Amino acid sequence: MSRTETREKIVETAARLLQEHGAAAVTVRAVAQAAGLQAPALYRFFEDKDALLDAVAEYVFTTYVAAKSDTAGTGDPVADLRAGWDAHIGFGLANAALFGLLVVPGRVSPAAEAGLAVLRGRIHRVAETGRLRVPEPLAVELVHAAGTGTVLTLLAAPPASRDLGLADAMWEAVTHRILTGDPAPDAGPAPLTDAERALLAEWLARPRR
C-alpha cells in the first residue's frame, strides 16, 4: 500500500468512527487499531489529533463544498444563497459530530474556511444585484452565525422533537435584515458637479469648424 493510500485509509477510518461513535471515539489509538496500524504510524502522516480531525473534516466536507460551488447556480443570486442555506442546515443535521468539530471556538478548520469562501462569493453576487442593504462582511457574518446557531439549536433537541420550521424562520429573519425588497434600479450616470457642468458648457459654446 502506498503512502497516499495509507493516509486515505486512516482518514476514511477516522471519518467512519466519527460518524458511528462521535468525536470522543476518534483517538489516535482507536483510529490506528481500526485501520490495522500501530499508533506511532499515524504520526508519520499527521502531526497530532487536531491535524487528523482537520483531514477528516476536509474529507467529509469536500462533497458538500463542491455542491455549494458555482457549478450549478440558478442564475438568481438570492435563490442560490437560499439553496446554500438549506444545504448547510441539512449537512449539519446529517453530520452532527463533524459539525461540532467545525464550530469549536478558536479552532479554524480548512474545511470551514472553504465553506465560508463559498458563502462570501454568494453574498458578493447578491451585492452585485443591488439587493444587499448591509456591508458584505456583515452579511457574511450574519448568515454564518444564523446558520450555525440554527444547526446547533436543532441538534440540541431530540430528533423527534426538532422543529425544522426554525430554519425557515431564521432564514426569513436574517434575510429581512440583510436584503432589500427588490433589486435596486439602475441609478444611471452620476450627476455632474458644478465644475463639470461649467466645463461642458464651455466646450459646447466653442465654435465648430
In this structure, what are the phi and psi dihedrals at residue 132, rounded to the nearest 5 degrees? Answer: -95, 125
CB 110 within 8 A of CB 54: yes
Please state the domain extents for the chain.
70-178
CB 100 within 8 A of CB 91: no
Mean pLDDT by 10 residues, the chain (209 residues): 88 88 85 90 87 83 60 76 90 85 74 83 94 96 95 92 94 95 47 45 46
Query: What count of residues does the chain have?
Result: 209
| pTM score of the predicted model | 0.70
pLDDT at 98: 83
Lookup result for grid cell 434575510: 175
Q: Which helix (H) or strand (E) holds 204?
A: helix 194-205
pLDDT at 74: 67
pLDDT at 66: 60
